[in-house]
């Protein structure tokens, strides 16, 4: 792919039913930032989607993988990607960024024999800054989700592209993501679950977040069944009209240029 700053949604599925039925792809997000190739949350099918992407994404040139939490729809392909990016361990390279629970927890997702294949494994903690060459990024406040979860905020030439991944809404999110220029949000639910126990954002939460943070652009992804039934592209258009802020519903394969001149 051309050496431009971009994010590509290999998949936009969220929640077990959409993933199981593959109503949307459950692959992760590919990013090119400051010359670095990164995959965020490689769910089921990420390797295949990279190979079939047009143009194809060369996994052997990945510099990093970032896991935001240990759930299977965010981590399933991490091991096969590590094997591919290191030529089966023949080239010790690449960095894995992940919460401790992903690496050392009871439900650790990283196979032990692959750990020495990597150049480094970096543990993510709340509100910390990290570097990958010239690219800097930080983690958010700890999200309210059943497992240890952090969002990630990338600083590219003074513009912040943030991924507010799986979480229940709570007011402190607004401060943690307050300076986002591009805000990507995982929106599993259209309405809150009647049990009150499902720890995911709904469209009402999204309205509150966007209207308060006021990013230049908001992108919705990681849709569950209720969001798909509600037609997320129509919801995004309504929010754009209502809030006066560009809101986009991501689709499988969608590429977003991060250079403002290419919008």
Q: Which of 62, 41, 256 has its CA nearest to residue 164?
A: 41
CA atoms lying within 13 Å on the CB side of residue 201? 26
> CA 146 to CA 200: how far, in whole Å?
10
Q: Which of 64, 246, 67 has its CA nearest to residue 151?
A: 67
229 CB contacts (<8 Å, ≥6 apart)? 190
> CA 171 to CA 72: how far, in whole Å?
27
How much is the pLDDT for 260?
A: 67
The 3-class secondary structure across the chain, one letter per residue, is: CCCCCEEEECCCECCHHHHHHCCCCCCCEEEEECCEEEEECCCCCHHHHHHHCCCCCCHHHCCEEECCCCCHHHHCCHHHHHHHHCCCCCCCCCEEEEEHHHHHCCCCCCCHHHHHHCCEEEEECCCCEEEECCEEEEEEEECCCCCCCEEEEEEECCEEEEEECCCCCCCHHHHHCCCCCEEEEECCCCCCCCCCCCCCCCHHHHHHHHHHHCCCEEEEECECHHHHHCCHHHHHHHHHHHHCCEEEECCCCCEEECCHHHC
How much is the pLDDT for 1?
A: 43
> CA 252 to CA 61: how far, in whole Å?
22
Along the 263 residues of the chain, how does pLDDT read in single tens digits?
A: 447 899 999 999 998 999 999 999 999 999 999 999 999 999 999 999 999 999 999 999 999 999 999 999 999 999 999 999 999 999 999 999 999 999 999 999 999 999 999 999 999 999 999 999 999 999 999 999 999 999 999 999 999 999 999 999 999 999 999 999 999 999 999 998 777 677 999 999 999 999 999 999 999 999 999 999 999 999 999 999 999 999 999 999 999 999 766 55
For the chain, the domains span 6-262
How much is the pLDDT for 146?
A: 95
Domain 6-262: which CATH number of 2.40.50.140, 3.30.70.260, 3.60.15.10, 1.10.260.40: 3.60.15.10
- Entry pTM: 0.96
Tokens standing for residue 78:
């991490």
Tokens standing for residue 35:
């010359």
């Amino acid at each position: 792919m051309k050496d431009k700053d971009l994010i590509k949604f290999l998949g936009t599925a969220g929640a077990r039913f959409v993933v199981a039925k593959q109503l949307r792809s459950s692959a992760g997000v590919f990013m090119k930032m400051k010359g670095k190739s990164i995959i965020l949350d490689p769910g089921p099918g990420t390797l295949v989607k990279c190979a079939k992407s047009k143009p194809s994404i060369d996994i052997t040139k990945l510099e990093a993988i970032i896991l935001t939490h240990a759930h299977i729809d965010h981590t399933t392909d991490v091991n096969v990607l590590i094997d591919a990016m290191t030529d089966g361990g023949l080239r010790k390279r690449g960095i894995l960024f992940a919460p401790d629970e992903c690496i050392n927890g009871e439900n650790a997702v990283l196979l032990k024999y692959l750990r020495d294949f990597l150049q480094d494994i970096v543990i993510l903690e709340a509100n910390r800054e990290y570097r990958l060459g010239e690219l800097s990024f930080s983690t958010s406040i700890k999200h309210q989700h059943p497992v240890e979860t952090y969002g990630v905020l990338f600083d590219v030439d003074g513009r912040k592209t943030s991924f507010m991944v799986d979480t229940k809404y709570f007011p402190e999110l607004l401060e943690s993501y307050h300076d986002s220029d591009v805000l990507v949000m995982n929106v599993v639910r259209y309405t809150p679950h009647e049990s009150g126990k499902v720890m995911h954002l709904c469209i009402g939460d999204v309205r509150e977040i966007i209207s308060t943070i006021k990013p230049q652009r908001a992108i919705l992804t990681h849709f569950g069944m209720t969001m798909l039934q509600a037609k997320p592209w129509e919801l995004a258009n309504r929010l754009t009209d209502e809030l006066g802020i560009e809101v986009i519903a991501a689709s499988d394969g969608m590429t977003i240029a991060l250079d403002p001149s290419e919008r």
